[in-house]
Amino acid sequence: MGGDSGTIGFSGQHLHPAQSSISESALLNPFVAMMAFAPRPSPVVQFLQKQTNPAFKGLYHANGFDLALLVPYFIVLVILASYGFHRYQLVWMYYRNRKNKTTTPKSSFTQLPRVTIQLPIFNEHFVVERLVESICNLEYPRELLDIQLLDDSTDETVKVAAEVVERYRALGHDIVHIHRTDRTGYKAGALEHGLKSAKGEYVAIFDADFTPPSDWLMQVIHHFAEPNIGMVQTRWTHINRHYSFLTEVEAILLDGHFVLEHGGRSRAGVFFNFNGTAGMWRVRAIEEAGGWQHDTLTEDTDLSYRCQLKGWQFLYLQDVECPAELPIEMTAFKTQQVRWAKGLIQCAIKDLPRLMRSKVSLKEKIEAWYHLTANLSYPLMIMLSVLLLPAMVIRFYQGWFQMMYIDVPLFLASTFSISSFYLVSQKELYPTRWWRTFFYLPFLMALGVGLTITNSKGVIEALLGKQSAFARTPKYSVQHKGKKSAAVQAAKKYRKRLGIIPWIELAVGTCFAGMMWYAVTNENYVTVPFLVLFVYGYWYTGLMSLLQGRFEFFRQHDASNEEEHIKPFPVGV
């Protein structure tokens, strides 16, 4: 062969020595040849082989430090999973008791009673005229209707409200402008103050951004012909649902509350709450329950529980709608959510002990517990965030199988119950286009994660007994075309900042991005989808809080070309 280092193959070509040995082996064993030239396993197969390789089985043993991390990790997961399972319970209650849905009243008044309408406002000069106009257009005998505009404003709203009231008084409406300067008790104090001069035996309440349809009163009043009915709540709809990506998600969140929470609880005959607006009360029920009290931020829920403990029955009319405006800024949305989160925990501390000692059924007590304590899940999410990385490391070394049959089911119970909950509510309301909700679900879940820091702050303050002022949600009346300039002014005037919290949210989101990188590099792919929700949620809420209103200048030059859903500042994707 001379100086040739190769080997002559069967057809005379030169072969590498390794190929020569393979060829020689192939002569003896064709199977060896076939395996040698077979394609390499796919990455998925390699990953599964690596995870099921028994070579390192039994090398890891849990120690005290690991258990100190894993025990609280699993406690948090189990508690969160229980609240997740409760959402399935609400869906079950909704469908199991569908025959109990309230539609038409059982009886009617032969003579309509007198009704008072209360309109509590605070610095609402962009929506007050729209509010009064919609109320004065309600179909009800004028001689049986009196309207109170309960104004605690400290800006030009006072003048605007007085002028609007005077104009409609001149048209023959029994409407008065009641202005307080001290704001004692905030909204609850204004409502209590108004009741002192109310003429009706029933009182309907509407917040500043609500525009009830003209037949709203006539659809509600006859349900009070039953003497045991203390309150009737109607369903909120959304004037500016399609205004931005944020308002689309907010609408889905509220629809879930009004369809499945209110629907399920009311049909099952357990306690549920007045939502502070778009509802009507029997004045005697308010008085017997102790009246409006302002030691919680959700005075509506507090009064609801005290009233139902007195034996009054509540009704929920899912088919009676009342349009309202959704918050269009992230900070406004956060302000609203933290007020509700803190207020419900305050109600739990105040009302649950009395309810647990009462003679109501065990079913009602359990449902009330889940209702009023649901926001404890926010600080639990903070704890989960802290424990997730060390737990992920420990569980990875324990083995993938334990993660699959313990961790993943608990995560699914905590998260996917939310998906099914809101899908069902949208299917009930929009049977032909509910499938669009699938697109919003990841962002809805991420937004819920992003609210954990602000809502946890409110929950912890409630647990510590720290009182805070009633923070209003700004309303801008931006759903119609041609309203841009006013909305921009409103944004500048009423915009709220959350201080350092958005920066904390960005930092936490960055930490979760690091966790996601760790999970990918260690081939712990099961946890990646959950981590993506955390990263997106914290970054989205943090960035939108910081960037709101920053780009108004670039939007103003083409205002004349915009036709609808005007956005005076960035509020969504």
Nearest to 555 by CA among 266, 116, 299, 244: 244
Contact 450, 540 (CB under 8 A): yes
| Side-chain half-sphere CA neighbours of 232 within 13 A | 29
Residue from 66, 209, 300, 407 carrying the catalytic annotation: 300
DSSP 3-state of 503: helix
Contact 308, 269 (CB under 8 A): no
What's the CA gap between 455 and 2, in Å, rounded? 83
Residue from 66, 146, 151, 152 carrying the catalytic annotation: 152
User: 152 catalytic, yes or no?
Assistant: yes
β-strands 115-121, 145-151: how paired? parallel
> Taking the alpha carbons of 479, 484, 490, 493 in that order, is the dihedral positive or negative?
positive
Residue where the block lists tokens 């959350």: 498
DSSP string spanning 277-299?
SSEEEEHHHHHHTT----SSS-H
Residue where the block lists tokens 């280092």: 5
Nearest to 428 by CA among 558, 559, 308, 252: 252
What's the CA gap between 484 and 243, in Å, rounded? 13
Q: 280 pairs with which residues across the strands?
A: 204, 232
What's the CA gap between 290 and 152, in Å, rounded? 23
Residue 361 has phi, psi (to 5 degrees) of -70, 160
| Side-chain half-sphere CA neighbours of 131 within 13 A | 35
Residue where the block lists tokens 């099952």: 268
Q: CA-CA distances (angstroms) from residue 363 to 141, 222, 348?
A: 42, 29, 17
| Side-chain half-sphere CA neighbours of 243 within 13 A | 29
Residue where the block lists tokens 């609007």: 164
Q: Which residues are catalytic?
A: 152, 300
